Amino acid sequence: MTQKKPKKVLITGANGFIGNTLMRYYKANNVPVVGVDLVGNGDDIIKGDIAQPDSISDLLKSCDVIVHTAALVSNSIADRDMWRVNVLATRNLIAAAEQHKVRRFVQLSSIVAYGNSAEGELDEEQPVHADGGSYVLTKLASEHTVLAAQAKGSLEVVIIRPGDVYGPGSRPWVILPLEAIAKGQFMLPAKGEGFFRPTYIDDLVRGIALAVSTKEANGEIFNLSCEGYMPTKEFFSHHFKWVNKRGPKLVSTGFALFAAKAATKIANLTGGVNEASTATVTQLCTKSWFSIAKAERILGWKPEVSFDDGIERSRVWAAEQGLIK
């Protein structure tokens, strides 16, 4: 493996769970880094809109690598907004990167690209399948946008498909479950037998950093996930233990879909938001896990944080945030 240290890294979505953890990783390793997000921090995260790259053109002049983590990930967001941020903004950012001679563009995609119906162990040669709503569609479209730049030879590109990324600060896998449990609204479809692929945040950011610096990663797609899987009921049982409650409640997929549709209708009528949409239900029923052999071979990457350590760190953080009472 040939390593090339970046001169300066620009991270989009720098206030987000993955983006902010990656910012801290680079700073701790003395790599020049700057972030961009809709809200700045007056220091190393600059206020800017990637949908309007002119607002960050000065940043692009000094950076040779972009790690694009900014995206809308909620299943409750309108399709047009999802498309505007996840696809059109990516397209505009790539055009700006080409204009400013950025060397490498690392795109954070998702394992949802494989679809929810695929089963068994999946590697990067598995055909993608758009069967999971607008989030899946926009992730696939953004991948195609990035690969088109690779085909032109205008940029080095790498695509990362992370597993189910959890840890301190995770909204879908730490914060939202605890909020739902507190309201007595948490249930698992498929009787809790869907597959969960817990990937600790620190392992992911280390893999992203390797994708940035490894010469041989150019033009490649990588699964960065845990090895294997666990049933969803096993993963989320920890959240119930944290708050000294019995659970999770296990229901049929049909019942969960019915409840999700009803909750979405109520949210639409009241102006609220329902995070537990039918797309979320379907995602929690999947029966697939992901090969990381390619990442191990080309990047020299594999998970290092044990699940026991990762889930305990998540518990400690949640307690510090007042999410465990």
Query: Comparing C-alpha atoms, which of 253, 256, 293 is closest to residue 274?
Result: 256
- In percent, how much of the chain has pLDDT > 70? 95
Q: Is the pLDDT of residue 132 over 80?
A: no
Handedness of CA 36, 37, 40, 45 (dihedral sign): negative
pLDDT level of residue 278 (50, 70, 90 thresholds): confident
Q: What are the pLDDT digits (tens) for 16-45?
A: 999 999 999 999 999 999 999 989 888 899
Please state the rounded mean pLDDT for residues 74-85.
69
Q: Reply yes or no on domain 9-166+197-227+288-305 having CATH 3.40.50.170.
A: no
What pLDDT does residue 123 have? 95
* pLDDT given at position 102: 94
Mean pLDDT, rounded, of the chain: 90
SS3 for 139-198 is HHHHHHHHHHHHHHCCCEEEEEEECEEECCCCHHHHHHHHHHHHCCCCEECHHHCCEECE
* Per-residue pLDDT at 25: 97
Give residue-wise pLDDT tens across range 97-131: 999 999 999 999 988 888 888 899 999 999 887 66
pLDDT for the residue numbered 176: 94
Is the bond leading into 162 cis (omega within 30 degrees of zero)?
A: no
Regarding predicted confidence, which is higher, 233 or 50? Answer: 233
**CA–CA separation, 70 and 234 (whole Å):** 30
Whether the pLDDT of residue 161 is over 90: the answer is yes
Question: According to the model, what pLDDT value does residue 314 have?
Answer: 98
Q: How confident is the model at residue 319 (pLDDT cuts 50, 70, 90)?
A: very high
Question: CB-side exposure of 134: number of CA atoms within 13 Å?
Answer: 18
Greatest mean pLDDT range, 7-21, 54-68, 79-93: 7-21
By mean pLDDT, which of 136-140, 198-202, 293-297 is the weakest? 136-140
Count the neighbouring beta carbons within 10 Å of the beta carbon of residue 152: 10
d(CA 264, CA 257) in angstroms, rounded, equals 11
pLDDT for 57-78, tens place per residue? 888 889 999 999 987 676 556 6
Per-residue confidence at 155, pLDDT binned at 50, 70, 90? very high
pLDDT at 197 over 90: yes
Lowest mean pLDDT among 160-169, 246-255, 277-286: 277-286
Name the pairing type of β-strands 104-108 and 164-166. unpaired
**Confidence at 170, pLDDT banded by 50, 70, 90:** very high
pLDDT at 271: 66
Higher pLDDT, 23 or 262: 23
